[in-house]
A and B are shown apart, each in its own frame.
Chain A
């Protein structure tokens, strides 16, 4: 009897969690739709967006530059080690470029961005809610979706593809330096192999499309979690954690789906 009851309550608990999740997704979609009219802020108050690109993009730049350089150098060393066994070290440039442009650039940038800027976006909006700043704006007839949320969302969307491109470019340059100065490869061969193997439409545009999607999704999750956070310090901290976890998983999941589509040529 008691056992039965426990099972029933557990099932009920699981059901409630699932329903909560679905409801949350619904709220997030409605939120995104409500956010769209706020995009006009780009035209009317561009300075707000610029301010946020500074907060999200420029301040994430350092970590992206450093990570990009290290990832490029690591790829060069590891790739060389494997390729040299088959006497194919001339393909090192190609290997590094494809890895960075197609996968590592967009994905690692997105993960770094979620941790560095996405969490900050959530915390900021959540705290503004908790301290009644958003309510205050509403009572001052200022739409917080337009004044606070939309600029952050748009800034993230713009920043991620640019950061991803910078990540890949820095990584390739760093790999080049290691390959030429450390591994003694010929610089011309490094570039020539790369150019012959990297396709502009498939690889580079594919990478850009990925990072555009990642920027959209991270920005969306970050501002939604902030706006939806319970207005307490605990609620805000939970929302911040959730932003990083959810957007990291979303980035990896979407990456898988998009990669599958792209490799099969749609």
Chain B
């Protein structure tokens, strides 16, 4: 159908996506495309559904309308078996890390390998140690998740996300709640891994500085749709008020400070 060569089409494309949660609108007519080999940041205030978007792309949620394709496959209509096959090629880094608390660091990173491959133990050991070396935690392999700091936990989760050498990694708020040093480490890792392993990265975040530093392209979401997009430089230079508000961190502006509510005075007086 598409005359363009496969390489040129985006790895992930979201077209006219609508999604509701408990009848509350999350997305309406959302369109975006994630280019191969790039780091794409998806930004927006808290609660605009950035995490939901990752879950939609990963096929854990079904859209009310619209189409999401990942590497040419329509996620929402894939049979379960095919969906699981697709997910093996996608790594995801949860905000909480989502490490398995009853396994140590080594076993956590080995988990996808043990579940999906029948590799001999010695090879699994080598692969796990390679991934741990990449995130600098080879020495922490016998620690349990409860013994890790937030930054270390997220690095372990990152090592686990790339243990099957995925084509794409999705990062859910990778910078949230980290000290500046850990933040710098994660930022560096996302960029380096993306380039060194030839992956595609989606970073969901509200941290403007970090996103600007590593992203090739930025989407800014609000009210269920994309309100601005462009390279970090273009976004910084944008004169559109919404973009300036977000990039500059201004409390009020076109992106409302208030959650939608009735008339304040009437509410206080109790109608």
Chain A residues with a Cβ under 8 A of chain B? 127-128, 131-133, 135-136, 138-143, 147
Contacts and interface: CB of A to CB of B under 8 A. Distances in A.
A147 B114 CA distance: 12
A135 B51 CA distance: 12
A141 B98 contact: no
B241 to A, nearest CB: 36
Given A132-B96, A135-B94, A135-B98, 11 more contacts: A128-B100, A136-B98, A139-B92, A140-B92, A140-B115, A140-B160, A141-B84, A141-B86, A141-B88, A141-B115, A147-B115
A143 B84 CA distance: 9
A141 B160 CA distance: 13
Contacts of A141: 84-88, 112, 115-116
Contact of A142 (B58, B60, B85, B112): B112
B116 A132 contact: no
B70 interface: no
B98 to A, nearest CB: 3
B101 interface: yes
B178 to A, nearest CB: 17
12 contacts: A128-B100, A132-B94, A132-B95, A135-B55, A136-B92, A138-B58, A138-B60, A141-B84, A141-B88, A141-B116, A142-B112, A147-B115
A139 B99 contact: no
Contact of B90 (A127, A139, A143): A139
B144 interface: no
B90 A133 contact: no
A135 B60 contact: yes
Interface in B78-126: 84-88, 90, 92, 94-96, 98-101, 111-112, 115-116
Contacts of B116: 141-142
Contacts of A147: 115
Nearest to B60: A138
B45 to A, nearest CB: 21
Nearest to A142: B115
A140 B85 CA distance: 10
Interface string B214-255: 000000000000000000000000000000000000000000
Contacts of A132: 94-96, 98
B158 to A, nearest CB: 13
Contact of B99 (A133, A135, A138): A133
Contacts of A140: 87-88, 92, 111-112, 115, 160
